[in-house]
Structure 1
């Protein structure tokens, strides 16, 4: 039943140790060289960015040649070991080639969030001080038309001479290869003002995390990973991009979460590995459930019975009947080819986790932070726990709970080869997140069970203490609303209900979905007081329904309906920078 019991995902490296690399781990360029030697003709990078929208695929051999050509040109143009090379753009083969070429040139790659405003990117670039900046089409004219210390090149073929695949040097330049302890990437927080934090990750951090994660999940050269979330983010970068190239799998680059494009790419790409955030999986699940409910209560009742039966069989006997029972439904949703779905970037409601497993999709959660490269827990698919974000990698790293309360909940601390080198040029900030004896402080609260599975409770800084002295974690309450299609965003925070006693209760900031406005036949942009009252009443009814399922101290006592959505991160989490 447990196919991972004696599985060593790094066993094949012995064949290449001494020829391609020395020591325990290869660097990222050495990892890619090994994969090219193993699977030269396998598809490597795929997208649909052609004039007629047709599929474009490069094999590992072709990708390797393009990477080496660009790395040689970078060295010819004066790039030296340790120089920073920035890249910002939509997910694409070009982005991937720049990333790897920078490492082959001995440089440090700085992937920047393409969704940021130009002024925010200016701030990140001023901190990173790159010698080159590769940028996509929409922002190219802004950055190339100004005087700066870095040279600007394009990820878009329409730019001609500065297009990444046209940068070629006839002269072969001897460059210095990076070592395993060298910094490979600096991942920046999106600081609008001041100095943003840059998380420095070494080749060892990223490569070790890539292989260690595979001790909880087998991946194959025949897998097809879907890079739908922005690839500059640590989650997509490691769990999709780097994991895929470590085994010779294909990376399909998605550029938009628009439903029509998503469906096309899922179907034509024949995706087997779908990694996403709660918002993506909630949307897919809500769409499937809506289709089932539309068949009427009798069909819906039968389907719910079969889903429950499928889940029981899977958990009890380790076989997966759902893929056969619900084949037609999965095909209609273009997710039948998916072998494994992984949710990260935030906690997922237990009901959603269970739903995909009932439907026959091997669905698991993982957990990590940019500072940990990022994966530090992952649910094995043959022994998953719905309530958990995964099992930590015992023997490969350490994890403990600091100062646990009576329920075992405290701050999660970790040690291991995937923990960052520190924040770029910020030694004081780095010192703040490590204990004196070297444990990294995650800032997250949770508890660990007797099988080393981690349960998340929330962020240390988000915890609310009620008048009765109860600790409330807003994320746990928000999770209960994840399948409510009438709510697009919900964020729970504390508010002072009694100024005399300064007692704190719970408020929900709710941004209703377009579905709710449509169902009530109300236009969001032209809403009267009476119509707004109807919206508030509908939202309050949903909150009342969920409140009944919560503990008394977790119940929401105040509801605020928002006219505008709260700002979100690129992994679709609400930025908790609102004022209380």
Structure 2
């Protein structure tokens, strides 16, 4: 994979994985599986729908929703259509949201019914088109599924220098600033991730972090998909739900931050504490033994391979 390539070529290769699991999204009690073929077909159909609806190469489209398979499909579809994805933090205040939508010149906002009203009430002279990820296509013409019914069309070709994603800073020292990442830039990052074997073809990744940050967007989402790895989306970030995601997704690689690992450890501790004194004793012994092996022999693999943080 070379930086001379674009994300379009990487996206186009996803369908070659066929029926292999691409996404495992956990609900409160259920789970939804997306194969690479389904992912590739949907994103291509969505990209065609955007093109048919008048979106052109270089247009900006914001994503204002929580992590979900449809978010990933929409983001990849935007990029495949030659447009620019603008992932937004769902916790942004109204003033900041107005600033970002104006600054990015977003022609559309992809969101959910729960967050739709906030967008509609924003003080914007030019209202962006709303596309809803969870609306019934029979009841709401803004449903994203209406785009999936569009006939396939020829999509524009991008260059490595074209922007693929526009990410905004947190704005701690002033208004948030947009940072464009080009197709070539992201392809180069994926090159390094693959070369350094941050993840390998045998891994199964957990993606608990919000996708409006570059770290989860590139390393948490794009890298596993480019490598053909199954990607598990937890229902929530509670310790128990993270443990459930680790188990059901048979996870071997976690894309996380210290706070996440703390929640995960708390979930483990809580389960151990409720399992009686024998389990507590064994857990303590295993922790001590693991620390001894790591400090004495200088390695944690294969001891901790089944849950390797990135």
Q: Distance in 2 between the 1:132 and 1:238 partners? A: 23
Give the Cα separation in 2 of the matches to 1:298 and 1:224. 30
**Kept after mapping to 2: 8 A contact 1:48/1:56:** yes
For each residue in 1:60-104, what CA deviation from the matched residue of structure 2 results, as whole angstroms up to 9, or x when unmatched? Answer: 111111111111111111111111011111101111111111111
User: Is the deviation greater in 264-273 or in 61-70?
Assistant: 264-273
Given the alignment of the two structures, is residue 43 of structure 1 paired with residue 33 of structure 2, yes or no? no
Alpha-carbon separation, structure 2, partners of 1:72 and 1:321: 45
Rate the CA distance shift 1:185–1:305 in 2: closer, same or farther, 3 A. closer
Aligned position for 1:224: 204
Paired residue total:
302
How far the C-alpha of 1:207 sits from its partner, in A, is 1.1
Residues 127 and 289 from structure 1, CA distance in 2 versus in 1: closer, same or farther, beyond 3 angstroms? same
Secondary structure at the residue paired with 2:110? strand
TM-score (norm 1): 0.48
Relative to structure 1, the CA distance from residue 197 to residue 341 in structure 2 (aligned partners, 3 Å threshold; closer, same or farther) is same
* TM superposition shift of 1:287: 5.4
Bigger Rg over Cα: 1
Whole-angstrom distance in 2 between the partners of 1:94 and 1:220: 25
**1:384-463 pair list within 5 angstroms:** none
- Tell me which residue corresponds to 1:133: 109
Q: Tell me whether 1:311 sits opposite 2:294 in the alignment.
A: yes
Alpha-carbon distance, 1:142 to partner: 2.6
CA distance in 1, matches of 2:15, 2:282: 50
Q: Tell me the alpha carbon deviations over residues 363-405 of structure 1, each in whole angstroms, 9 at most, x when there is no partner.
A: xxxxxxxxxxxxxxxxxxxxxxxxxxxxxxxxxxxxxxxxxxx
Judged with a 3 Å threshold, the aligned counterparts in structure 2 of structure 1 residues 162 and 300 are, in CA distance, closer, same or farther, namely: closer
Structure 2 equivalent of residue 397 of structure 1 = none
- What is the aligned partner in structure 2 of residue 109 from structure 1? 85
Give me the whole-angstrom Cα distance separating, in 1, the residues matched to 2:284 and 2:162.
Answer: 57
Query: What's the TM-score once normalised by structure 2's chain length?
Result: 0.85
Partner of residue 244, structure 2? 264
Go from structure 1 to structure 2 and tell me whether the alpha carbon gap of 1:287 and 1:251 turns closer, same or farther (over 3 Å shift).
closer
Look up the SS of the partner of 1:161 in the other structure. Answer: coil
For residue 51 of structure 2, the aligned residue among 50, 55, 75 is 75
Cα distance in structure 1, aligned partners of 2:293 and 2:159: 49
Q: Give 1:231 shift.
A: 1.1
- Which residue does the alignment assign to 1:30? 9
Contact 1:161–1:167 under 8 Å retained in 2: no
Greater share of strand = 1
Gap regions ≥5 residues in structure 2: none
Structure 1 alignment gaps of length 5 or more: 1-9, 11-22, 324-335, 343-580
Q: CA 1:167/1:192 → structure 2, altered by over 3 Å: closer, same or farther? A: farther
What displacement does 1:124 show?
0.9
Gap change, CA 1:122 and 1:217, over 3 Å in 2: same
Asked if residue 120 in structure 1 is aligned to residue 99 in structure 2, the reply is: no
The Cα of 1:181 is off from its aligned counterpart by 1.1
Q: Relative to structure 1, is the Cα distance of residues 105 and 319 closer, same or farther in structure 2, using a 3 angstrom cutoff?
A: closer
